[in-house]
């Protein structure tokens, strides 16, 4: 959950419209800080963002703390991960759930299609004294690398239908045999279309509803955790 003590700061890993804010997150036995954009909506008026948007519909999604990220992070801490478990976070953005995995003793590879997100992730890892156990990787879902992970995390990565086959393609290419993928979403209607695709994929899926944590900056709702495993492996 969020704890008191969020504060505005002027310095960050790169100049940013609206500046930066330092946010504190705390769960029983775990706490860390993240530097985040103080006013992410101001990025929409950035000339560089406008140019990229005209080319390929780019949006600076990385700059927002997405609604499902808090519940996802809390769920990470409820699970007894073996120390050193290697985790891939796709579409990480601010990487709150990925850093929860790191705080839980896992080794995390934070990936995004936006280099600014990765620069910020590197900065936040150092901010919390994590000089190892956090790798950053620029990842184009259309061209996944030849690497395998026993755990893959995607928090709010299925909000656009066009990304559904790409997300499943990354899972097919990068999920290790016997591994599990966590896909979390605040039950947007697009999620049901994603699950329909899963039914025709090499994966089986189990879904749980996570308790919604109180936060003044988020509307009420639910967060759904979809756990995907290879079809020949049992669901836990």
- φ, ψ of residue 55 to 5 degrees: the values are -80, -50
Q: Domains in the chain, please, with CATH? A: 62-230 (3.40.50.150)
* Blockwise average pLDDT, block size 10, the chain, 236 residues: 54 90 95 96 86 82 93 96 97 98 98 97 97 97 97 97 97 98 95 97 96 75 95 67
Q: Per-residue b/e over 82-121, b at no fewer than 16 CB within 10 Å?
A: eeebbbbbbbbbbbbbbbbbbbbebbbbbbbbbebbbebb
* Phi and psi angles of residue 33, each rounded to the nearest 5 degrees, phi first: -115, 150
* pTM score above 0.85: yes
Angle CA 188–37–21, to nearest 5: 120
Question: Are 7 and 118 a contacting pair, CB within 8 Å?
Answer: no
Predicted confidence at residue 14, as pLDDT, reads: 93
| SS3 state at 27 | strand
| The dihedral sign for the CA sequence 164, 121, 80, 208 | negative
Are 88 and 180 in contact by the 8 Å Cβ rule? The answer is no
Distance CA 226, CA 197 (A): 13
Question: What is the 8-class DSSP label of residue 15?
Answer: -
> How far is residue 71's CA from residue 26's CA, in Å, rounded to a whole number?
12
pLDDT the model gives residue 11: 75
pLDDT at 49: 81
**What CA–CA distance (Å, rounded) separates 106 from 122?**
16
């Amino acid at each position: 959950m969020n704890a008191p003590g969020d504060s505005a700061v002027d310095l960050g890993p790169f100049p940013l419209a609206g500046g930066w804010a330092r946010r504190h997150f705390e769960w029983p036995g775990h706490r860390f800080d993240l530097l985040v954009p103080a006013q992410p909506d101001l990025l929409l008026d950035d000339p560089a963002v406008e140019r990229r948007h005209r080319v390929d519909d780019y949006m600076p999604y990385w700059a927002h703390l997405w609604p499902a990220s808090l519940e996802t992070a809390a769920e990470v801490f409820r699970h007894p991960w073996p120390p050193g478990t290697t985790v891939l976070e796709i579409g990480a953005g601010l990487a709150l759930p990925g850093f929860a995995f790191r705080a839980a003793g896992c080794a995390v590879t934070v990936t995004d299609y936006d280099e600014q997100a990765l620069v910020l992730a590197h900065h936040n890892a150092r901010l919390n004294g994590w000089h190892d156990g956090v790798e950053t990787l620029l990842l184009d879902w259309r061209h996944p690398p030849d690497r395998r992970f026993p755990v893959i995390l995607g928090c709010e990565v299925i909000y656009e239908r066009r990304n559904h086959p790409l997300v499943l393609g990354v899972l097919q290419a990068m999920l290790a045999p016997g591994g599990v993928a966590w896909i979390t979403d605040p039950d947007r209607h697009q999620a049901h279309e994603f699950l329909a695709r899963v039914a025709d994929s090499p994966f089986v899926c189990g879904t749980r509803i996570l308790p919604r944590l109180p936060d003044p900056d988020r509307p009420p709702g639910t967060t759904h955790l979809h756990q995907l495993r290879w079809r020949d492996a049992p669901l836990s």
